Amino acid sequence: MTRRNLTGKVVLITGAAGGLGAALCQRFAAAGARIAAMDLDAAKLDTLTTSLRAKGAEALALTGDITDPTACESAIAATLAHFGALDGLINNAGISHRSLLADTDSDVIARVMAVNFFGAANLTQAALAQIVARQGFIVTISSVAGFSPLIGRTGYAASKHALHGFFDSLRSEVEGAGVGVTLVCPSFIRTGIGTAATDGSGAPVSSPRITSGVESSPEEIAAQIFDAVAAGRRLLLPDTTARKAWWLSRLAPGLYARIMKQRMGREFSGLL
């Protein structure tokens, strides 16, 4: 299969101001892509785009809320006005909660779904015609929680599972037009999503996140995502924990659930 050449391509990346989003901007820019960086944090976006331009990249800062369909349409319009094209979309923005369902307000689950699922759906729908016209690509950052259960993250897991149904189905609609659709399912990355998670009331979570396996750096995952896009891969399991979880949850789901609860359930000891 011919590798996709990303030099000169225009790529819109959400959640771009920090963590994996910033690493993705840097990796794609290093390959010669032109970057439209979207986030709610205008100050951090300015720092990011200044850094990209200092390295010779073309970069546009887009401050906007992906949960607002109008803001998504405006972001696409601004990208086209600035660059004249849009070749790729990376749906990276996301939030999380860490709380048992019995202790979780319905508003918390609704907010997680609004950002993680509807945000990605909104921006993809706004961008789709341009990406199809350019035979481009769409990448969506899911999680191990997108294909298997994860204790204390019912809303988060639901949002990630929904992404698989949406983007696997979208692929069947657009792959014949030359559009690539890639789902990325990492386990744990050293980003701010863990510390930015909320508890069941929507307040910042106070307990430390418990992880399983080795946490990957954002740069490591960004490099693998770049290679997956270039190779036209449908699914990327970028670390050992993700690959083990994929196969174990399919071949022995009961065993997977027991191991997962033993390792991750420590966050909720005394509550179960």
CATH number of the structural domain 10-268 = 3.40.50.720
The widest CA-to-CA distance across the chain, in whole angstroms, is: 56
| Predicted pLDDT of residue 263 | 84
Q: Where are the domains of the chain?
A: 10-268
**Which one is catalytic: 156, 166, 188, 256?**
156
- 156 belongs to the catalytic site: yes
The answer to whether residues 137 and 181 touch, using CB atoms and an 8 Å cutoff, is yes
**What backbone phi and psi angles, to 5 degrees, belong to 206?**
-100, -25
Is the Cα torsion angle 259, 144, 270, 103 positive or negative in sign? negative
The answer to whether residues 239 and 142 touch, using CB atoms and an 8 Å cutoff, is no
Which regions of the chain are under pLDDT 70? Answer: 1, 191-196, 206-213, 268-272
pLDDT in tens, 48-86: 999 999 999 999 999 999 999 999 999 999 999 999 999
pLDDT in tens, 175-188: 999 999 999 999 88
Q: What residues contact 132, with CB distance under 8 A and at least 6 apart?
A: 174, 177, 179
Return the structure tokens found at 31: 């390959």
| Residue-wise DSSP of 40-80 | S-HHHHHHHHHHHHHTT--EEEEE--TTSHHHHHHHHHHHH
